Chain A
Amino acid sequence: MERPLTEHIHPNRPALNLKEYEAVGGYAALKKVLKDSSPKQVQQAVQDSNLKGRGGAGFNTGMKWSFVPMDNAPRPKYIIANADEMEPGTFKDRLLLEGSPHQLIEGMIIAGYAIQADISYIFLRFAYKDAAKILRKSIQEAYDAGYLGKNIQGSGYSLEMYLHTGVGRYMCGEETALLNALEGKRATPRAKPPFPQVSGLFGKPTIVNNVETFCCVPHIIAKGAEWFKSISKSEDGGTKLYGVSGKVNKPGLWELPMGVTIRELIEEHAGGMKNGLKFKGALPGGASTDFLTEQHLDVKMDFKSVAAAGSRLGTGTMIVLDDATCPVGFVHNLQHFFAQESCGWCTPCREGLPWVEKVLLSLENGEGKKEDLDILHMHTKFLGPGNTFCALAPGAMEPLESALKYFADDFEKHIRDKKCPYHN
């Protein structure tokens, strides 16, 4: 089984430095591209590979790049790695950042070449201190070796790269809010259109991609779009970093062919549920995805299959709910997070999320009333898609709406018994 992204990442060994990375074939894809391919050819190869963005929304990466103006385009153009990873339950980009910084840098340079970007940023969340250190060192190594800066490898193409570390806010991960944060503003989202591909950072054409997305790119160039599709078990190309957290025997992160089933992840890789506990449900791809339950264990973890089951692949890092953990408390914890991290730009989200949080807390405390459930249902509509500026609020409603559907008994029991059946 091929693991292109993590093949050279070992838990007890520091990340490969530039020389070591080159020795295992690193930067060969970049050299090949600079020598043999036009920017449009790179865009086409990535589009053909069916690489879909790993940041959550799953948009075809090559197609996204193709919207950037190429001839007589405004300058400078920007390429940005979204390394904000703050979605609760998500811990995949950390591995790539700490374990293989040159893979990310090479992917970004190739992507930069494909859209003819002039400047690149890695937007890194504050908490990843080790990643910041190793990225700084690796960017310098890449400059020293002539992979960054002016006239890269004598090709005439130039790219600058900077590391930006954030100061903490989930909204910085939202593509357009990230651009505002980089411009030194509050991280509120921007109205679209114009899309960042046309008018992004400082009003110039900009591509934002997830860390894992960039890390796939050198491999697609080196081994081809057909190979990339062939290592997947689904129609989405490539492998995927899958994670499982919660009360399983071996929580962890694994690079597997895109499209393994939930059952395989939990039973084989995560070692099954902890002693005496039963699987009750899971958020398949981070905090802002809908619950799936036992009936969905054989669903394949690819974008289309998870969507058909009523949820989203999201970040592919799953949070497991066991039968001894209260689903109401679980959802209350999520809504507390979303209410806290709401940027306050639009009313339904700013006012609605704290209300939802309070209602859930009163249910947890045994003070809930039957009408409270109507209030929660109402919010899943008011804060749903189309009513807010960004996807934070609709994302927050996904676990709530699905919990109300699958765990209705638990909600009702809290009201009937006037206490939490799990905590007392």
Chain B
Amino acid sequence: MLTPDEKHEIDHEISILPHRKAAVIEALKIVQQHRGWVNDESVGAVADYLDMSPAEVDSVATFYNLIFRKPVGRHIILLCDSISCYVMGYQKLYAAIQDQLQIKFGGTTSDKKFTLLPNPCLGCCDRAPALMIDEDLYTDVTPDKLAEIFSKYS
């Protein structure tokens, strides 16, 4: 079941589109915003609300990199692993993160604080290597800066 708040937000999206189905990506974003991730039950609820089959909704949900179909931590670390960051040594950052947080790409720390994901190009290649945590972008990152960065999040 969708909550009244979720329905209200999805209704707004539907109102500016020519048909209900077209709002499915927005609906998944809204549900994820409220629930942290999109579980099977949420897929079903979105499908019901938009007159779609769960399979149709899931085919969209699983296509996009940032719709999470598994539980994630409170904060998402997106580490750029694309070419400019490769040349500038993101590999050292990855090694340091694995060491400090004890997680690999796709993993969540045992205290559920961070989930680490690889991410294609963050669009700041002149300040590589780069990573993003939630809404915050960090550039020219070196392994020795990581501890301080992580300490800002609870």
| Pairing of A with B | yes
Cα separation A340 to B82 with both chains bound (whole Å): 11
Evaluate whether A86 and B121 lie within 8 angstroms (CB atoms) in the complex, with A184-B22, A245-B128, A321-B87 already known.
yes
Interface assignment of B127: CB less than 8 Å from any CB of chain A? yes
Cβ contact within 8 Å between B84 and A169: no
In chain B, what residue has the closest Cβ to A322? B87
Chain B residues within 8 Å of A126, by CB: 66
Cβ contact within 8 Å between A186 and B60: yes
Question: B70: shortest Cβ distance to chain A, in Å?
Answer: 15
Per-position binary interface string of chain B over residues 55-68, scored 1 when its CB falls under 8 Å from any chain A CB and 0 otherwise:
00001100111110
Interface assignment of B18: CB less than 8 Å from any CB of chain A? yes
Which B residues from 7 to 63 make CB contacts under 8 A with A?
A: 16-18, 21-26, 28-29, 59-60, 63
Cβ contact within 8 Å between A330 and B82: no
Cβ contact within 8 Å between A329 and B126: no
Chain B residues within 8 Å of A184, by CB: 17, 21-26, 60
Cβ contact within 8 Å between A181 and B120: no
In chain B, what residue has the closest Cβ to A338? B120
Chain A residues within 8 Å of B126, by CB: 91, 243-245, 251-253
Cβ contact within 8 Å between B135 and A251: no
In chain B, what residue has the closest Cβ to A248? B126
Cα separation A88 to B86 with both chains bound (whole Å): 11
User: Interface extent on B, as a size class?
Assistant: 35 or more
Interface assignment of B97: CB less than 8 Å from any CB of chain A? no
Cα separation A166 to B65 with both chains bound (whole Å): 10
Cβ contact within 8 Å between B83 and A127: no
Interface assignment of A246: CB less than 8 Å from any CB of chain B? yes
Which A residues from 143 to 176 make CB contacts under 8 A with B?
A: 162, 166-170
Which B residues from 106 to 129 make CB contacts under 8 A with A?
A: 119-128
In chain A, what residue has the closest Cβ to B61? A167
Interface assignment of B78: CB less than 8 Å from any CB of chain A? yes
In chain A, what residue has the closest Cβ to B16? A162
Cβ contact within 8 Å between B123 and A128: yes
Chain B residues within 8 Å of A181, by CB: 25
Chain B residues within 8 Å of A66, by CB: none
Which A residues from 236 to 278 make CB contacts under 8 A with B?
A: 243-247, 251-253
Cross-chain contact of B121 among A89, A93, A167, A185 (Cβ < 8 A) = A89
Question: B16: shortest Cβ distance to chain A, in Å?
Answer: 7
Question: B124: shortest Cβ distance to chain A, in Å?
Answer: 6
Question: A31: shortest Cβ distance to chain B, in Å?
Answer: 27
* B26, B64, B66, B88: residue with the most chain A Cβ atoms closer than 10 Å: B64
Interface assignment of B132: CB less than 8 Å from any CB of chain A? yes
Interface assignment of A2: CB less than 8 Å from any CB of chain B? no
Cα separation A168 to B22 with both chains bound (whole Å): 17
Interface assignment of A341: CB less than 8 Å from any CB of chain B? yes
Chain B residues within 8 Å of A287, by CB: 82-83
Cα separation A166 to B120 with both chains bound (whole Å): 14
Interface assignment of A337: CB less than 8 Å from any CB of chain B? yes
Cross-chain contact of A337 among B28, B82, B123 (Cβ < 8 A) = B82
Cβ contact within 8 Å between B83 and A167: no
Evaluate whether A91 and B123 lie within 8 angstroms (CB atoms) in the complex, with A129-B135, A167-B66 already known.
yes
Cβ contact within 8 Å between A91 and B83: no
Chain A residues within 8 Å of B26, by CB: 184
Question: B80: shortest Cβ distance to chain A, in Å?
Answer: 9
Per-position binary interface string of chain B over residues 66-86, scored 1 when its CB falls under 8 Å from any chain A CB and 0 otherwise:
110000000000100111101
Cβ contact within 8 Å between A245 and B86: no
Interface assignment of A298: CB less than 8 Å from any CB of chain B? no
Per-position binary interface string of chain A over residues 127-142, scored 1 when its CB falls under 8 Å from any chain B CB and 0 otherwise:
1111000000000000
Chain A residues within 8 Å of B18, by CB: 202
Cα separation A187 to B64 with both chains bound (whole Å): 8
B residues with a Cβ closer than 8 A to A are: 16-18, 21-26, 28-29, 59-60, 63-67, 78, 81-84, 86-88, 119-128, 132, 135, 137
A residues with a Cβ closer than 8 A to B are: 85-91, 93-94, 125-130, 162, 166-170, 181-187, 202, 243-247, 251-253, 283, 287, 317, 319-322, 325, 329-330, 333-334, 336-337, 340-341, 343
- Beyond A86-B123, A333-B82, A337-B83: 16 further Cβ-contacts under 8 Å? A89-B83, A91-B123, A91-B124, A91-B125, A94-B124, A128-B123, A167-B67, A169-B65, A182-B22, A184-B23, A184-B24, A245-B88, A251-B128, A253-B126, A330-B83, A330-B86
Jot down 20 A-B pairs with beta carbons below 8 A, ordered by A.
Answer: A86-B121, A88-B83, A88-B84, A89-B82, A89-B125, A127-B137, A167-B64, A167-B67, A168-B119, A169-B65, A184-B21, A185-B60, A186-B63, A187-B63, A245-B125, A251-B126, A319-B87, A325-B87, A330-B87, A341-B120
